[in-house]
């Protein structure tokens, strides 16, 4: 069951796993490191211009709130499968204008999305602490690519731990669809030493890897950006995941998630 706690700001917890943090007075306050990494990416996409964003997975809408504040006039659609959660957030943490929220399955909504309309598709879907299998295949990523404008960007927030077999397979999956791909993670996660969030980014055109890398390195919780030859070496001999072989993301070890 969802739980909202305002003792440290508004913290959304689902089945014991922290999912979102919202500061209604300051939408730019992103408590979780993975949300800041997504925000750093958004900051580098057509700077200063409104964006057309499709968010798959909503939680308490931390990232959509950030984008609405940072880029006034942005058009945002959020698809969240948990209807009671949407109603709870609507009642306690109403979202600003420009954000449309609907209840539905992320893949079904993506399949029905207008072709070539979005500047960015952000996939941040967890059922409890795991990402469902039907959102982890080449077929799913192809749907995301079809929804993007030329040069648009796909970003997927996932989680993995040693030996990063899941993250590598997902990177290979994104690379099977997009010619430009990078992987973002905390250095210790990237080295396969601990469990944590992994952000995969794909596009049909060159990504802003240099300015994004600088933003990530300067974050209070620094992250590394892996791309080009380094990423190719990381996913060498790793097969993309198809619908037929897809499985839910691996479960986290006890105590893996905390406010960061």
Fold of 2-234: Rossmann fold (3.40.50)
Give the pLDDT confidence score for residue 259 in this predicted structure: 40
Kindly give, in sequence order, each residue whose CB lies less than 8 Å from that of residue 162, ignoring residues fewer than 6 positions away: 192, 193, 194, 195
The Cβ of residue 149 has, within 10 Å, a number of other Cβ atoms equal to 14
Mean pLDDT per block of 10 residues along the chain (260 residues) reads 62 77 92 96 96 96 97 98 94 94 98 98 93 98 98 97 97 98 97 95 98 97 97 97 98 65
Give the pLDDT confidence score for residue 114 in this predicted structure: 97
The Cβ of residue 256 has, within 10 Å, a number of other Cβ atoms equal to 15
Give the pLDDT confidence score for residue 260 in this predicted structure: 39
Tell me how many degrees the CA angle 249-254-255 measures, rounded to the nearest 5.
105
Give the pLDDT confidence score for residue 14 in this predicted structure: 72
Looking at the DSSP bridge assignments, the partners of residue 149 are none
Q: Sketch the domain layout of the chain as residue ranges.
A: 2-234
Give the pLDDT confidence score for residue 11 in this predicted structure: 86
Give the pLDDT confidence score for residue 205 in this predicted structure: 97
Residue 154 burial class via C-beta count within 10 angstroms: exposed 0-12, middle 13-18, buried 19 and up: buried
Strands (E), the chain: 2-5, 10-14, 17-22, 52-56, 75-80, 99-103, 118-123, 148-160, 180-185, 196-203, 224-227
Give the pLDDT confidence score for residue 2 in this predicted structure: 59
> pTM for the complete prediction?
0.94
């Amino acid at each position: 069951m969802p739980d909202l706690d305002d003792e440290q700001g508004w913290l959304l917890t689902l089945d014991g796993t922290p999912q979102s943090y919202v500061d209604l007075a300051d939408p730019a306050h992103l408590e979780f490191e993975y949300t800041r990494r997504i925000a750093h990416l958004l900051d580098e996409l057509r700077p200063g211009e409104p964006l057309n964003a499709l968010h798959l997975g909503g939680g308490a809408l931390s990232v959509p709130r950030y984008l609405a504040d940072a880029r006034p006039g942005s058009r945002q659609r959020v698809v969240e499968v948990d209807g009671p959660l949407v109603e709870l957030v609507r009642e306690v943490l109403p979202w600003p204008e420009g954000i449309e929220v609907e209840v539905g399955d992320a893949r079904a909504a993506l399949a029905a999305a207008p072709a070539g309309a979005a500047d960015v598709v952000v996939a941040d879907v967890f059922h409890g602490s795991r990402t469902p299998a039907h959102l982890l295949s080449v077929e799913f990523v192809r749907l995301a690519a079809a929804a993007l404008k030329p040069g648009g960007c796909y970003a997927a927030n996932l989680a993995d731990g040693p030996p990063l077999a899941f993250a590598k397979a997902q990177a290979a999956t994104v690379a099977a669809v997009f010619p430009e791909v990078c992987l973002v993670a905390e250095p210790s996660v990237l080295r396969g030493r601990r469990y944590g969030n992994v952000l995969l980014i794909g596009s049909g055109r060159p990504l802003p890897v240099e300015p994004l890398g600088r933003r990530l390195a300067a974050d209070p919780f620094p992250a590394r950006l892996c791309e080009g030859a380094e990423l190719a070496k990381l996913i060498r001999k790793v097969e993309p995941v198809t619908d037929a072989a897809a499985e839910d993301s691996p479960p986290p070890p006890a105590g893996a998630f905390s406010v960061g």
